[in-house]
C-alpha cells in the first residue's frame, strides 16, 4: 500500500471510531450530539474526566467496548500514520536524489522555465519530438502533475542561480523563458547567458517594450504572444491563402511529416559537396527547403548545385525516420544527437 493510501486509511479509521462512539452514546443515553462527541473523545483517548450523566449498565458495557477498541485502534492508526509519513519522506528523498542524478547525466538538453499555458505547449512539442529536457516550475500542483507524467521537474524559482545550475544550464542546448513576468524572464536570460555563452535562448515578452531589453540581455529570439497573435489574425483576414499555407507548414505532423534542422558539424561527409551529390533527396526522400550559413545568410529553396559548407544548417522536411537518417548520415561520428 502506498504511503498516501496508508495515511488516509489511518485517518479514516480514527474518524470512523469517533462517529461510532458518538452515535452509540447518542442512542443509549440520549445525550446532545456535542456531549456524545465529547465523551467519546475523552474515552478513546483514555483521558476519562468523568462518566456521562445518567449512565446505565448498558452504557457502561458500551463504554468498555469503546475503551478497548479505541486504545487498540488509535494505537494502530497513529503507528500506521507515522510509518506512512516516514515512508513518504523516504520515497520523496530517494526520488529527488534519482531526479538530480538523471539531470546530471544530461548534456545538450533543453530547459523550460515556467509550465503555464505557453510553457506547457512548449513542453508538449519538445516531448513529442523526444528530446531531453528539464522543467523549472514554482507551482507545486503543476510540478506534481508534470512529475506524474514522468518529466524531470525542479520545484523552484527559475530566477535563482542555484536552480538554473541544478537544471544543468551550463550543459544545456537551449532555454525557454516562459514565466509570466517580463522582469523574471529578463533576469533568467541574463543569468543563463552569463553561465553559458552558447545556449540558445528563446524568451517570452508580454509587453512589446520588453522585446528589445530581452534581446540585449542575451536572448536569441523573443516571442510576444500579443504581436504574434495580432500578426496572425491580420494575415488570416488580409491574406487567407498565405495564412493557410503557413498553418499547413507549421502543422506538418498532420501529414506524417516534420520540419527540422540538421547542422553539418566538422567532419561531416556533406561538407564541400553539392546538394545533388549528397543523396538527401534521392536516398532519404527528404527535401531541403533552406540552408542557413554559419554567417547567418539564409538560402531559400537552394539549387541542386549549391555547395554545403561546414556548420551549415539544413532546414529539411520529411518523415520522422527520414530526418533521423539524415542526421546520422550528416554527422555519423557526432555524439550530440538527441533524436530518439
Query: What tens digit of pLDDT does each residue of 287-333 get?
Result: 999 999 999 899 999 999 999 999 999 999 888 889 889 999 999 87
In whole angstroms, give the CA distance from residue 219 to residue 211. 9
Residues near 136 by Cβ (< 8 Å), separated by ≥ 6? 111, 112, 113, 114, 153, 154, 156, 158, 163, 164, 167
User: Which residues share a beta bridge with 316?
Assistant: 260, 288
Residue 336 domain flag: no
Q: Which residue has the higher pLDDT, 226 or 289?
A: 289
| Crossing angle of helices 210-217 and 182-195, rounded to 10° | 10
CATH number at residue 144: 3.40.50.720
Query: How high is the pLDDT of residue 210?
Result: 92
Helix H or strand E segment including 258: strand 258-263
Q: Do 94 and 114 belong together in one domain?
A: no
Residue 249 domain flag: no
Domain span at 79: 3-101
CATH number at residue 86: 1.10.287.70
CB contact at 8 A, 137 and 72: no
Residue 69 domain flag: yes
Query: How high is the pLDDT of residue 252?
Result: 56
Query: Could you tell me the three cell numbers for 13?
Result: 479509521
Span of 167-171, 210-214, 240-244 with lowest mean pLDDT: 240-244
Span of 116-130, 214-228, 255-269 with lowest mean pLDDT: 255-269
Residue 242 domain flag: no
Query: How high is the pLDDT of residue 47?
Result: 67
Band of residue 340 on the pLDDT scale cut at 50, 70, 90: very low
When pLDDT is averaged across residues 88-109 and rounded to a whole number, the result is: 67
In whole angstroms, give the CA distance from residue 340 to residue 328. 12
CATH number at residue 298: 3.30.70.1450
Query: How high is the pLDDT of residue 90?
Result: 45
Selection from 12-21, 78-87, 274-283 with the highest mean pLDDT? 274-283
Q: Do 111 and 82 belong together in one domain?
A: no
Band of residue 38 on the pLDDT scale cut at 50, 70, 90: confident
Q: Do 8 and 95 belong together in one domain?
A: yes
Span of 163-172, 257-266, 302-311 with lowest mean pLDDT: 257-266
When pLDDT is averaged across residues 261-270 and rounded to a whole number, the result is: 92
Q: How many domains does the chain have?
A: 3
In whole angstroms, give the CA distance from residue 169 to residue 107. 9
Identify the domain boundary among 229, 246, 270: 229
Query: How high is the pLDDT of residue 167?
Result: 92
- pTM score, two decimals? 0.59
When pLDDT is averaged across residues 273-295 and rounded to a whole number, the result is: 92
Q: Which residue has the higher pLDDT, 128 or 2?
A: 128
Band of residue 144 on the pLDDT scale cut at 50, 70, 90: confident
Residue 175 domain flag: yes
Residue 235 domain flag: no
- Residue-wise over 299-317: b if at least 16 C-beta within 10 A, else e? eeebeeeeebbeebebbbb
Residue 92 domain flag: yes
Q: Do 122 and 191 belong together in one domain?
A: yes
Q: Do 146 and 220 belong together in one domain?
A: yes
Query: How high is the pLDDT of residue 91?
Result: 41
Q: Among 155, 137, 141, which Cα is nearest to 95's?
A: 155
Q: Do 147 and 199 belong together in one domain?
A: yes
Q: Do 23 and 38 belong together in one domain?
A: yes
Residue 172 domain flag: yes
The rounded percent of the chain whose pLDDT value lies above 90 is: 40
Query: Could you tell me the three cell numbers for 321?
Result: 525516420
110 pLDDT exceeds 60?
Answer: yes
Query: How high is the pLDDT of residue 339?
Result: 42
Query: Could you tell me the three cell numbers for 313?
Result: 544548417
Band of residue 174 on the pLDDT scale cut at 50, 70, 90: very high
In whole angstroms, give the CA distance from residue 139 to residue 322. 39
Q: Among 276, 274, 295, 271, which Cα is nearest to 287's?
A: 276
Q: Which residue has the higher pLDDT, 339 or 117?
A: 117
Q: Are strands 258-263 and 313-318 parallel, antiparallel or unpaired?
A: antiparallel
When pLDDT is averaged across residues 188-195 and rounded to a whole number, the result is: 94
Q: Do 74 and 182 belong together in one domain?
A: no
Q: Do 125 and 215 belong together in one domain?
A: yes
Q: Check residue 289 and report its DSSP letter.
A: E
Cite the DSSP H helix spans in 54-116. Answer: 57-105
* Average pLDDT of the chain to the nearest whole number: 83
CB contact at 8 A, 286 and 317: yes
138 pLDDT exceeds 60?
Answer: yes
Q: Do 72 and 132 belong together in one domain?
A: no
Identify the domain boundary among 83, 101, 119: 101
Q: Do 186 and 155 belong together in one domain?
A: yes
Q: Do 158 and 224 belong together in one domain?
A: yes
Span of 55-69, 262-276, 293-307 with lowest mean pLDDT: 55-69
Identify the domain boundary among 81, 101, 121: 101
Band of residue 96 on the pLDDT scale cut at 50, 70, 90: low
Q: Which residue has the higher pLDDT, 224 or 340?
A: 224
Amino acid at each position: 500500500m502506498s504511503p498516501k493510501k496508508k495515511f488516509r486509511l489511518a485517518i479514516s479509521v480514527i474518524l470512523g471510531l469517533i462517529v461510532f462512539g458518538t452515535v452509540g452514546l447518542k442512542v443509549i443515553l440520549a445525550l446532545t450530539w456535542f456531549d456524545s462527541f465529547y465523551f467519546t473523545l475523552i474515552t478513546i483517548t483514555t483521558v476519562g474526566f468523568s462518566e456521562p450523566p445518567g449512565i446505565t449498565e448498558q452504557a457502561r458495557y458500551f463504554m468498555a467496548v469503546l475503551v478497548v477498541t479505541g486504545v487498540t485502534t488509535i494505537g494502530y492508526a497513529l503507528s500506521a500514520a507515522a510509518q506512512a509519513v516516514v515512508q513518504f519522506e523516504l520515497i520523496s528523498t530517494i526520488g529527488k536524489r534519482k531526479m538530480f542524478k538523471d539531470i546530471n547525466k544530461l548534456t545538450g538538453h533543453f530547459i523550460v522555465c515556467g509550465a503555464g499555458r505557453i510553457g506547457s505547449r512548449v513542453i508538449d512539442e519538445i516531448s513529442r519530438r523526444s528530446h531531453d529536457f528539464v522543467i523549472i516550475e514554482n507551482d507545486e500542483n503543476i510540478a506534481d502533475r508534470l512529475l506524474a507524467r514522468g518529466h524531470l521537474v525542479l520545484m523552484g524559482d527559475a530566477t535563482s542561480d542555484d536552480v538554473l545550475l541544478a537544471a544543468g544550464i551550463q550543459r544545456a542546448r537551449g532555454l525557454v523563458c516562459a514565466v509570466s513576468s517580463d522582469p523574471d524572464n529578463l533576469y533568467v536570460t541574463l543569468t543563463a547567458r552569463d553561465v553559458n555563452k552558447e545556449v540558445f535562448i528563446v524568451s517570452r515578452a508580454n509587453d512589446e517594450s520588453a522585446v528589445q531589453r530581452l534581446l540585449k540581455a542575451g536572448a536569441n529570439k523573443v516571442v510576444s504572444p500579443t504581436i504574434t497573435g495580432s500578426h496572425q489574425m491580420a494575415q488570416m483576414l488580409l491574406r487567407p491563402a498565405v495564412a493557410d499555407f503557413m498553418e499547413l507548414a507549421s502543422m506538418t505532423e498532420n501529414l506524417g511529416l516534420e520540419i527540422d534542422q540538421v547542422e553539418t558539424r566538422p567532419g561531416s561527409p556533406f561538407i564541400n559537396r553539392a546538394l545533388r551529390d549528397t543523396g538527401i533527396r534521392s536516398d532519404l526522400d527528404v527535401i531541403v527547403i533552406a540552408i542557413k550559413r554559419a554567417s547567418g545568410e539564409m538560402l531559400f529553396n537552394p539549387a541542386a548545385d549549391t555547395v554545403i559548407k561546414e556548420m551549415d544548417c539544413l532546414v529539411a522536411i520529411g518523415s520522422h525516420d527520414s530526418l533521423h537518417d539524415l542526421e546520422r548520415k550528416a554527422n555519423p561520428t557526432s555524439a550530440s544527437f538527441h533524436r530518439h
